[in-house]
Amino acid sequence: MKLNRDCLTPVGAITRGLLAGTIGTIAMDTLLYFRYRKGGGNGGFAHWEFSADIHSWDQAPAPAQVGRRLYDGLLQRELPDERAALVNNIMHWGYGIANAAVYGVLAGSLRTPRVWYGIPFGAGVWASGYVVLPAAKLYEPIWKYDRQTLAKDLSAHLVYGLTTAAAFRLARRFRL
C-alpha cells in the first residue's frame, strides 16, 4: 500500500484544525468586538471577551445555556449563577475549536485544501446554530430573525470559516 504523503495523518489534521480554530475564533471575536464598540459598547476587549457583564443565567447567551444544560444533565447538579460567564467562554471557544478539528480532518485529507473552503465551512457552522438552538428552545426559528441580524451573524461566521481555512492551510506547511 502506497501512502499519500500530501495528506496529513488524522492526528496531524486534528492538531492543525484545533490551532486553526483558535485563530478563527479570535478573528470572529475581533470582528464582533469592533461591532460592539461601534454600537456604543465601552468595555475593553478582555472585559468583553470574557463575558464580565454576565452575572446570572438569566443574562447568559445561548452558548452558556447549552453548557449549563450539559453540566446539569450529565452531573445531575445545578451550576451556580457565578459560573455563567465562565461556561459561556468555555462553550464559545470549545465550539469554535472543536468545529475546526472536524474541518481539519476533512481538509487534511485533501492534497491542497483551498482557503475558499472556509466559506461553506463558516456558513455550515452558522446554519447548524439555527437548527440546533431553536430545537433546544434557545433561539427562535431562523425565519423569525430579520435579514440584518442574520447577515451580521453569517458574516461573522464567514470570517471565522475563512480565517480557520487560511490558518489551516498555513499550518500544513509546518511540522508540529
- The string of pLDDT tens digits covering residues 18-73 is 999 999 999 999 999 999 999 999 999 999 999 999 999 999 999 999 999 999 99
Tell whether the model's pLDDT for residue 12 goes beyond 80: yes
Contact criterion met (CB below 8 Å) for 96 and 21: yes
Cα(first)–Cα(last) distance of the chain, in Å? 25
Dist CA 23 CA 94 (whole Å): 13
Question: Of residues 16 and 5, which shows the higher confidence score?
Answer: 16
Tell whether the model's pLDDT for residue 6 goes beyond 90: no
Asked if residue 2 belongs to a domain, the reply is no
Q: How many CB atoms lie within 10 A of CB 4?
A: 8
Domain that includes residue 90, residue range: 10-171
Is the C-alpha dihedral spanning 139, 162, 20, 31 positive or negative?
negative
pLDDT digits (tens, 9 = 90+) for 147-173: 999 999 999 999 999 999 999 999 998
Give the per-residue pLDDT at 173.
Answer: 87
Asked if residue 54 belongs to a domain, the reply is yes
Helix extents (H) in the chain: 10-38, 45-49, 62-75, 84-108, 118-135, 147-171
Number of domain units in the chain: 1
Residues in the chain, overall count: 176
Place of cell 504523503: 5
Is the C-alpha dihedral spanning 126, 131, 133, 134 positive or negative?
positive
Contact criterion met (CB below 8 Å) for 29 and 48: no
Asked if residue 176 belongs to a domain, the reply is no
Asked if residue 139 belongs to a domain, the reply is yes
HSE-CB for 128 with a 13 A CA cutoff: 10
Give the mean model confidence (pLDDT) for residues 114-125. Answer: 98
Asked if residue 33 belongs to a domain, the reply is yes
Asked if residue 59 belongs to a domain, the reply is yes
Asked if residue 127 belongs to a domain, the reply is yes
Asked if residue 3 belongs to a domain, the reply is no
What's the chain's average pLDDT? 94
Dist CA 25 CA 164 (whole Å): 8
